Amino acid sequence: MELVHLTQFEKRKKADLLVLPFWKGASRPEEATTYKLQIPLLTAVLKMGDFQGKEGEVLFLYAEGQAESRIALLGLGPKDKMTLESLRKSYGALSKACLAKKFKTLNVAVPLSDRLTDQERMAGVAEGLLLPNYVYDRLKSPNPEDADEAILLQKVTFISDDKNALEHAEEVAAICDGVDYARDLINGNADEVTPQYLAQCAHGLAKEHKQIKTTVFDKKRIEKEEMGLLLAVNRGSALEPAFIIMEYKGNPKSSDHTVIIGKGITYDTGGLNIKPTGGMETMKCDMSGAAACFGTLLAVCNLGLKVNLTAVIPATENSVDANSFKPGDVYRSYLGKTVEMMNSDAEGRLVLADALAYACQKLKPTRIIDLATLTGAIEISLGSEASGIMSTDDGLANALMEAGEQTFERLWRMPLYDEYKERLKSDIADFKSWNGRSASSCVAATFLKFFVEDTIPWAHLDIAGTAYVTEPKKYMPKYASGVGVRLLVEFLKRLPVSKRS
């Protein structure tokens, strides 16, 4: 999308729509900018109460004698209750309405408010417009007669006195590019988005961005590294696994190093504990953690952040075959510890375990954050309103939760009680992989904790309820949300400067 900035309202150029924001006043809507139009229709609408300025309220008017074909009155809600999130929601409602009307070009008057900084106001407006401006329709045949065919916004001109407005909007656009990259990976066919495809994407990012170095372990190298749990999950698949490492050195002089690990199960049948009908059809999304890592790395490159970041993706299908690993058998992990496989549908923790142990031993991380669509229980607990976080470090957990509040990719902390370890004791191996439904999100995280060195701060984000939604929400489209990208970028931007240099 092309982004433009104007400081003079009178110099705006031709567009499909002019957007004027309003606060919800005590008796009638109040202008949220100093820009005013003196046209009878607008005056009559405001006087008659046809538009009240409620949060997310959109009313389209015909524009006579203006540079635009239409005018949109956009409600922001009460002025004293405006937040970054309320701005996102209001402009998200506008963006969706524009998509329905098939508008391509907008002139947007940016609201004034002392409740947020200039950067926050532009972020709220831009995120609200850009995050819904996405559709995954590449698998549909072109049909000129399809009235519902999506037409996305192509150009937005922001009208604001803030001289840095375009810079702020372009920063948001750079992050949203990462979000859309993640969405495309998740929404794609599982037969296309394979472990080998993810490896190609990793090499592609390295080719496009010189700051990235990509290393991919094929099956022979994975066998040499003795990643027994990743290999066990892969046994039932006709496709070989891939262990992907993408390194970004934005601050080579610093030893501070964040490692993010994404669960890369490109399709999950459940293995021999096969999923029932209704439980498998969306399982192409089981690599959403991996997709978030890809999107985060792309956004970090786009922004040129002065951080050192490595993304690790253990990728494989969890399929069904005569060679599938058998529940009840024992396999040895990269760490050397043995695991009694109790349920083949608890495969995500297995591939993550090898990746966590490898990262601790080989990558010298300052901190590790993993993202995974790990347990259905977290969706039962939190729905799609928040992801679960389990962490061994209060500072890391708090920093991630603060970033989550800023981006509204919220996190809710769940416990890692020592008592959960008792549920993973095995008579024939070092650990069990699974112990039933009770506290299953926390027990799964406890299993992962076995593979993380005590001296390394670690956080596990269970995004099973937030990564893939079957109905559009606020400013998020249906299906893949790209959750995790904005959260991680905000976290990385907030790292203390002393840790960057």
Catalytic residue numbers, as ranges: 275, 349
Token pair in block for residue 77? 């809600």
**Residue type at position 58:** V
What tokens were used for 204? 């592609």
Q: DSSP secondary-structure letter at 160?
A: -
Q: Which residues pair with 30 in a beta bridge?
A: 23
Residue 162 is assigned to a ligand binding site: no
In this structure, the number of other CB atoms found within 10 A of the CB of residue 35 comes to 18
User: Bridge partners of 137?
Assistant: none
Q: Is 362 annotated as a binding residue?
A: no
The dihedral built from the CA positions of residue 325, 345, 290 and 181, taken in this order, carries a sign that is positive
Burial code of 417-454, b = ≥16 C-beta within 10 A, e = fewer? eeebeebbeeeebbbbbbbeeebbbbbbbbbbbbbbee
B/e letters for 196-233, b = 16+ CB within 10 Å, e = fewer, are bbbbebbbebbeebebbebebbebeebeebebbbbbbb
| Ligand-binding site membership of 226 (annotated) | no
Cβ within 8 Å of residue 54, ≥6 positions away: 24, 75, 77
Which residues 6+ apart lie within 8 Å of 189 measured at CB?
139, 284
> Is 430 marked within a binding site?
no
Find out whether 230 and 357 touch, Cβ atoms under 8 Å.
Answer: no
Q: Is 263 annotated as a binding residue?
A: yes
89 vs 250: CA distance, rounded Å: 33
Q: How far apart are CA 385 and CA 472, in angstroms?
A: 13
| DSSP states along 6-19 | ES-GGG---EEEEE
Annotated binding-site residues read 263, 268, 286, 345, 347
Annotated binding-site residues for Mn(2+) read 263, 268, 286, 345, 347
